[in-house]
Chain A
Amino acid sequence: MSLTAGRMAATDYAMPSAEPLPDSPAALIARIAQRDREAFSRFYDAFAGLALGLIRRILRDPAAAEEVLQEVFWQVWQEAGRYDPKRGSPEAWLVMRAKTRAIDKLRAIRRREKTFVAPVDESVTRSDEATGENPGVAAEARGLVRSALDSLPEAQRRVVELAFFDGLTQSEIARKLGEPLGTIKTRARLGLERLRAVMRREGQGAR
């Protein structure tokens, strides 16, 4: 399932100007914008797992994560008409929404639990800790993500993680790490380029 979603991402978006295939994510989004319940159901089946994986990675609380997942897909239903193919693939659009919502929720939880203060280092490395919930089920998949991220040089990995899992902007990361903004921008690029190479290699190995 996970690799299928990944492949759909790459193949579908490879032809942004072509007429979307009837069952492509882009076609499903267009139908959802027309309030097509069936299309929504299929889009959910294809990508809910993808979104939930990311939300769980950010939030760590399974119940809160499913709550956020529901909000994210409700947004998809309400706002599919706003999806703009020029700005990227439907999956990336979904992932961005999932990320934003999860981080909003995380910040709300932290505000509520005033005593909780996560130092940068702790929040960066927290994914290394065993989480207790759902042991083993997604461990192998998580291991792959972990090893892809771990293959990055430390400095690049911190930038990617602070950006993606903590929702900081590049300026915020620069301030937090006490590095020039230009350095952070370059590290984000190098980090993603390297991740892409690693994912490709692993993808070929797995297929």
Chain B
Amino acid sequence: MNRDEIHELAAGYALGTLDLEDRERFEVLLDARDAEAETALREFQSTMTDLAAEASVAPSPGVKAALMARIDAEGRARDAVVRTLETKRPARARWPIWSTVLTGAMAAGIAAIAVGLAVSTAYDRRLAQLQQEAAAIKEELNRQQAIMTLLQDPATRFVSLDALEPAGGATARMVWHKTTGGLLVVQGMPPTPAGKAYELWAIPPGGSPIPAGVFTVDAKGTASLRVSPVAAGTEVETFAVTLEPASGVPAPTGAMYLAGKL
């Protein structure tokens, strides 16, 4: 790529006007710490922010007050739900078993990711992306077939999960079948923070929550999660969703967002 071409991409990037393909091309350069691209972007971006700064308008004080109040309310809600969740945990002693098993699995998973990252380069990324897209399509097909089978079974149950305070106006439904598992569909969830994921829990009556999968939501706050059946003989009474570290945890630690009883 020549200098003019890099500068054209940088200008478009700073203006936020690039088409997807060009944006990806430029981000490859940025990720590779291309000096020409970084310098050009820095200069164009500071031109845009300087231009915006020239027209600065002081907001009315109410805007900041509302934001700070919202932040404080969010903090209080999180504390309250964590406390609620703490008091609802009757069988703490059983959790270390889960955590031993799952820590091992997680360590293996993390090792695999690290190896994967080490071998990939900026130029492999495009290929990987295409493979991912193909895999995603296959996965989607399998998922659709599983959903059809599930819906046709008379033993299938439908559960509505209630949105707790941090989830705002989210809605969530679970289609659940004891032996084939189920499907969770959520809408209107808050964006998943970086490094975090939502984790679904299947909770037996009087028992410890069983991890049932992690998921993140798209820009519209929607997601669907295929849920595997729990071990034979285990009854599930409640489903809940909490916010956890992205790799998932063996026992809930974060705020509870959704909950519903079968």
Q: Which of A45, A141, A188 contacts B8 (CB 8 A)?
A: A188
Once bound together, how far apart are the Cα atoms of A138 and B11, in whole Å?
A: 27
Q: Which of A120-165 contact B (CB under 8 A)?
A: 134, 137-138, 141-142, 144-145, 148-149, 160, 163-164
The answer to whether B42 and A88 have CB atoms under 8 Å apart is yes
Interface residues on A, range: 35 or more
Q: Does B212 make an interface contact (CB < 8 A)?
A: no
The B interface is mostly helix, strand or loop, or mixed, namely helix
Q: Which of B129-146 contact A (CB under 8 A)?
A: none
Residues of B within 8 A of A16 (CB): 38, 42
Most buried by A among B30, B42, B45, B66: B45
Q: Does B84 make an interface contact (CB < 8 A)?
A: no
Once bound together, how far apart are the Cα atoms of A192 and B63, in whole Å?
A: 32
The answer to whether A92 and B49 have CB atoms under 8 Å apart is yes
Q: What's the minimum C-beta distance from A76 to chain B, rounded to whole angstroms?
A: 9
Q: What's the minimum C-beta distance from A188 to chain B, rounded to whole angstroms?
A: 5
Residues of A within 8 A of B67 (CB): 40, 44, 70, 73-74, 77
- 1/0 per position for A1-41, CB-CB distance to B under 8 A? 11101100110011010000000000000000101010011
- 1/0 per position for A77-98, CB-CB distance to B under 8 A? 1110110001111011001100
The residue of chain B having its C-beta at the shortest distance from the C-beta of A66 within the complex is B63
- 1/0 per position for A166-207, CB-CB distance to B under 8 A? 011111010000000000011011011101100100010000
Q: What's the minimum C-beta distance from B190 to chain A, rounded to whole angstroms?
A: 7
Q: Which of B13, B45, B53 contacts A13 (CB 8 A)?
A: B45
Given contacts A40-B71, A70-B67, A169-B17, whether A95 and B49 have CB atoms under 8 Å apart is yes
Given contacts A88-B41, A189-B11, A196-B43, whether A69 and B63 have CB atoms under 8 Å apart is yes
The answer to whether B54 and A192 have CB atoms under 8 Å apart is no
Q: Which of B36-58 contact A (CB under 8 A)?
A: 38, 41-58
Q: Which of A48-86 contact B (CB under 8 A)?
A: 48-54, 56-57, 66, 69-70, 73-75, 77-79, 81-82, 86
Residues of A within 8 A of B59 (CB): 48-49, 52, 66, 69
The residue of chain A having its C-beta at the shortest distance from the C-beta of B74 within the complex is A77
Q: What's the minimum C-beta distance from A67 to chain B, rounded to whole angstroms?
A: 9
The answer to whether B54 and A141 have CB atoms under 8 Å apart is yes
Q: Which of A54, A82, A169 contacts B52 (CB 8 A)?
A: A54
Once bound together, how far apart are the Cα atoms of A9 and B53, in whole Å?
A: 10
- 1/0 per position for B136-163, CB-CB distance to A under 8 A? 0000000000000000000000000000
The answer to whether A70 and B44 have CB atoms under 8 Å apart is no
Once bound together, how far apart are the Cα atoms of A33 and B196, in whole Å?
A: 12
Q: Does B116 make an interface contact (CB < 8 A)?
A: no
The residue of chain A having its C-beta at the shortest distance from the C-beta of B190 within the complex is A78
Residues of A within 8 A of B4 (CB): 186, 189
Q: Does B204 make an interface contact (CB < 8 A)?
A: no
The answer to whether B56 and A41 have CB atoms under 8 Å apart is no
Q: Supply 10 further A-B pairs (C-beta < 8 A) apart from A5-B49, A50-B53.
A: A53-B52, A88-B14, A137-B57, A141-B54, A164-B17, A185-B11, A189-B7, A189-B8, A193-B11, A196-B44
A and B contact pairs by CB, cutoff 8 A, 24 listed: A6-B46, A16-B42, A35-B75, A40-B71, A41-B64, A53-B54, A57-B55, A66-B63, A70-B66, A78-B190, A78-B191, A79-B191, A81-B193, A88-B14, A88-B42, A89-B49, A95-B52, A144-B54, A163-B16, A164-B48, A171-B19, A188-B11, A188-B12, A192-B48
A interface residues (Cβ-Cβ under 8 A, vs B)? 1-3, 5-6, 9-10, 13-14, 16, 33, 35, 37, 40-41, 44-45, 48-54, 56-57, 66, 69-70, 73-75, 77-79, 81-82, 86-89, 91-92, 95-96, 99-100, 134, 137-138, 141-142, 144-145, 148-149, 160, 163-164, 167-171, 173, 185-186, 188-189, 191-193, 195-196, 199, 203
